[in-house]
Amino acid sequence: MNQMALLGTSFACDCGRQHRIPTRALHYGPTSLEQLLPTVAALPDVHNCLLVADQRTWAAAGRQVEEKLRQGKLTVARHIVSDHGGESPVADDRTKERLLTEAPTTDLFIAVGSGVINDLVKWVAFLRGKPYIVVATAASMNGYASANVAASIDGLKVLFHAEACLAVFSTPDILAEAPYRLTASGLGDVLAKTVSSADWLLNRELFGDYYCRFSVDLLKDLEPIYLNNPEQIRAREPAALQALFTALFFSSVAMTITGTSAPASGGEHLISHTLDMLADRDGGSHDLHGRQVGVASILMAALYEEVLAIDTPRFELPRTEVDEEFWGSLTPMVADEYRKKLRRYQQVREQLSQPGNWQALRRLLQVDLVPAAQLKSCLARAGAAHRVEDIDHSGRPLSREKFSRVVRNSSQMRARFTILDLAALLGYMPSRVEQLIDRWLS
């Protein structure tokens, strides 16, 4: 599949929808920044632009981006987002407000950074009704071509729809210079797709939810490159970094064209979101998204293997109440979502108890899955987080006990059905899942 040719186009898909990819180009290569000025110059009504970076990303790429842009007739301004309590900025409403008031009016925003800077600029550009372009400084996450903003408003994590960027730029040098933890985190995030697409398929089979095979297959050609060559990612080899970066980019395209995070986010993401929410609730800190997601993906793959090996399933209904002691002040919010899920448990139990249905589902889900052993080996060889103790939680290695409680409870926070729910229905919680945690994540 020539994915690049699809950028900026609109096309009819076999899933029955018309897909439109708002991002027109991915410029990646040793000299890709040379394309920046011609790209900007070709945009109608753009006479000036505003570069937005933080101190680190300014040093990593901002300065050279500014030099390239100043070679033309454009007026180029810059805004450095200040640090948050001595650390990197965060994408929250206060930082956004400051950016909105302090940033000069501009025809075009250019974000120089990764997760936070990309989210902040996407947000502010959307509020001002202006286009934006990203110069990516790390292969760390799959939001570069996404229309969604992941932010925190009044302390609550929210995801809302804005406008995706016009183009993404980066070079092998910039990505190789990024802190390696960020790159390894990007690998964890993109590997989640191997289990999240099975979760998505599960929702189509069980509830008739919308599903798009095309968007699942967007990364198909790239996946073996990083899955089979993790040492090359660790050595920052250009071809491996390129595969990872391109896969992260198309992972965000998949979410944008389908209008859902389902192609890239399943049970493993619920575990990571729960870890984030608990840390925020307790005034602590959490690890990088992709590091948590990578570890949880190994467990999801292991759970799928166990569950799909069952010949004659016996279903039991999980508890009807959420665990108040576990969720604390988050209980009311989680209980709302969990109520929707309880109905689904009943429905799934009836449906999968019909003759033939379980066997058909097993065969179908098998197709996209990658063995847990392969995910584990890939992350370990890449020098990425692959054990519970690798996850930093409020300055300490995450305990197996806490992780196990998170695994048991995290599926309650969203109505979306995942392997965590199927495992709960099959009586895997808590003792058998704990055996799996010991076997795979220690």
CB of 34 to Zn ion, least distance (A): 31
CA distance linking residue 185 with residue 295, whole number of Å: 10
Backbone angles phi, psi at 296, to 5 degrees: -65, -30
Residue pair 28/171 in contact by the 8 Å Cβ criterion: yes
CB of 199 to Zn ion, least distance (A): 13
Interacting residue ranges for Zn ion, rule: CB under 5 A: 13, 15, 189, 212, 214
CB of 375 to Zn ion, least distance (A): 15
CA distance linking residue 429 with residue 425, whole number of Å: 9
CB of 89 to Zn ion, least distance (A): 20
Q: Which is nearer to Zn ion, 180 or 210 (CB)?
A: 210
CB of 374 to Zn ion, least distance (A): 19
Residue pair 379/298 in contact by the 8 Å Cβ criterion: yes
Amino acid at 20: R
Q: Which is nearer to Zn ion, 58 or 403 (CB)?
A: 403
CB of 17 to Zn ion, least distance (A): 5
Q: Which is nearer to Zn ion, 170 or 185 (CB)?
A: 185
Q: Which is nearer to Zn ion, 214 or 315 (CB)?
A: 214
Helix (H) or strand (E) holding 49: strand 48-54
Contacts of 428 (CB under 8 A, 6+ apart): 303, 306, 307
CB of 19 to Zn ion, least distance (A): 5
